[in-house]
Amino acid sequence: MSDFDLFSITEEHKELREAVRALADDKIAPHAAEVDERSEFPKAAHDALVATDFHAPHIGESYGGAGADAVATCIVIEEVARACASSSLIPAVNKLGTMPLILGASEDVKQRYLPAVASGEAMFSYGLSEREAGSDTANMRTRAEADGDDWILNGQKSWITNAGVSRYYTVMAVTDPDGKRGANVSAFVVHADDPGFTLGEPERKLGIKGSPTRELYFDDMRIPGDRLVGGIGEGLKIALRTLDHTRVTIGAQAVGIAQGALDHAVAYVKERKQFGSAVADFQGIRFMLADMAMKLEAARQMVYVAAAKSERFDSDLPFYGAAAKCYASDAAMEITTDAVQLLGGSGYVKDFPLERMMRDAKITQIYEGTNQIQRLVMARQLLQG
């Protein structure tokens, strides 16, 4: 493969985009405003995605999944986010929750859990962050203490996406309190019906209101030893490798939100008339649209390059994944804000979807590592050569 052949969009990818866009326009977009207004999980979107195998497209065929490559998975998330950001977190978080298993679990653990997600029977969330361990993940306080072949889990996790609707959770916990920081964490699969496992109240959020975000609490919760993901002490390494791959999907979500905002803004300024002309006829407006489209396309290309590197497990994925997530989310915030501006007063009210898209875009600069952390990741990669 030449240096210039970083990724390619195949005919299959183009057909996939058309199929997901048609589904999103028909089954997801009509419910997006209501999902946001009521802060309700998008059940109609979930059912539509499951019916078409778009809910967890990344899972391999050997586990009953669609076996989509990383670029294809990004296209699915992007097109769903174009219609409804909350709904795009169904495929995105199913990948986030299961990626630790794909990267580090035994074949037995993979066979036990991945088929249920692939079939749509279950969803999978990811538990890394805590109240005092957000960007500083190694500072986590959740503990898992060995008890024979089992583990006793105590602690909490914060900001858990799709908590309460997921059946399974990949949870990181300190298994050797006296061990080397960062090398003393292990990963486990937690079941929603495990005794001692409870949920906090749903967070009241600025955006992505249809995707529930809650805390997880573990109170002397017994976990069988065969739910360990990877080896003892490998949890944080697996968690950070997971984020290298899934930050790319957040970039895809950001691109989708921005594309939806640009599409609505273009349609509006072509129809809206002021001073006897369509708003789109004014040069200042055209310059804004050109800049929005330019930033969007640059972000899309960065995401696809990073996705291709994710598929190939390239050694420079940490840089490209961080760069794609950082650039795309910053672009999405700028583009959605400009889209609101282009609609004027109409952009500021709920009669149009732009204010929702602007609110939804903000979280892409924060979760799976703030964009300040992404810049630290990129700089570290550069300095390490």
Helix or strand or coil: residue 157?
A: strand
Rounded CA separation 316/306 (Å): 9
Using CA atoms in the order 78, 79, 84, 86, what is the torsion angle rounded to 10 degrees? -40
Compute how many other C-beta atoms are within 10 angstroms of the C-beta atom of residue 317: 23
- Please give the helix or strand (H or E) that residue 223 lies within, else none: strand 213-223
Is the separation of the CB atoms in 373 and 331 below 8 Å?
A: no
Residue 65 phi, psi (nearest 5): -90, 180
Q: Is 40 a catalytic residue?
A: no
Residue 147 phi, psi (nearest 5): -140, 90
Compute how many other C-beta atoms are within 10 angstroms of the C-beta atom of residue 164: 15
Rounded CA separation 11/133 (Å): 43
Is the separation of the CB atoms in 128 and 141 below 8 Å?
A: no
Catalytic residues, which ones?
368
